[in-house]
Amino acid sequence: MLRIGLTGGIGCGKSTVANLFSQLDVPIIDADIISRNLVQPGQPALAAIRQVFGGKILNVDGSLDRSHLRDIIFADAEAKQKLESILHPLVYQAILAAVGQTISPYCVICIPLLFETKMTRLADRILVIDCPTEIQVMRVRQRDHLSDGQIQAIIGSQVPRDFRIANANDLIENTGTNDKLAEQVKKLHNLYLSISNCQD
């Protein structure tokens, strides 16, 4: 089965593109959903995170206080590394397991931090969703109500836009209408079906 690694900077429209592939009956394996499931109350990953960061990263109901943890790791590179050492191996294994259970000509593995987490080996082809930085900032401001400074800090923590584009097998420019986006997805869908047929 052909494995497509879908990635892009914050606010570039990865979820929108993943939904368009899903509407074409393509299986989507989402690293963010896997990661959220791994830190549910009662999961070993949450216990490990609490052991490292203390009870202050938990809400009253015992769930993970994501915004507090995000503030900690953005302010402390060592803390970020500790969190990644707990979560990334578990996410990697969960993605492999999900791929192993999927029957389809190809699947899309949505990994926002594909390059940063060095998970490129999970993908046969890398699909990058791209848009100019000013559009990223505008979208994230509207969606997440963050300050421009916070958004720029997130963008700065990700690999540069040029790096993503240079390492893409396929590129979607998400600067137009949803119709144009759907057209680009349909073209890639046909390409991926063609490539997967050649692999059979």
The CATH 3.40.50.300 domain(s) of the chain lie at 1-27+106-200
Instruction: Tell whether pTM > 0.85.
Output: yes
- The C-alpha atoms of residue 39 and residue 62 are separated, in whole angstroms, by 11
The CA-atom distances, in angstroms, between 69 and each of 6, 99, 127, 173, 183 are 25, 29, 29, 32, 38
Half-sphere exposure of 91 (CA within 13 A, CB side): 25
| Sheet containing 28-30, strands listed edge to edge, beginning at the edge strand earlier in sequence | 28-30, 106-110, 2-8, 125-130, 170-173
pLDDT tens for the chain, residues 1 to 200: 999 999 999 999 999 999 999 999 999 999 999 999 999 998 989 999 999 998 898 999 999 998 889 888 878 889 888 999 999 999 999 999 999 999 999 999 999 999 999 999 999 999 999 999 999 999 999 898 888 888 888 888 899 999 999 999 999 999 988 889 999 999 999 999 999 988 65
CATH 3.30.1330.100 is held by the domain 1-27+106-200: no
- The C-alpha atoms of residue 26 and residue 187 are separated, in whole angstroms, by 14
Residue where the block lists tokens 């073209």: 187
Q: Report the amino acid identity of residue 1.
A: M
Residue where the block lists tokens 């000013």: 134
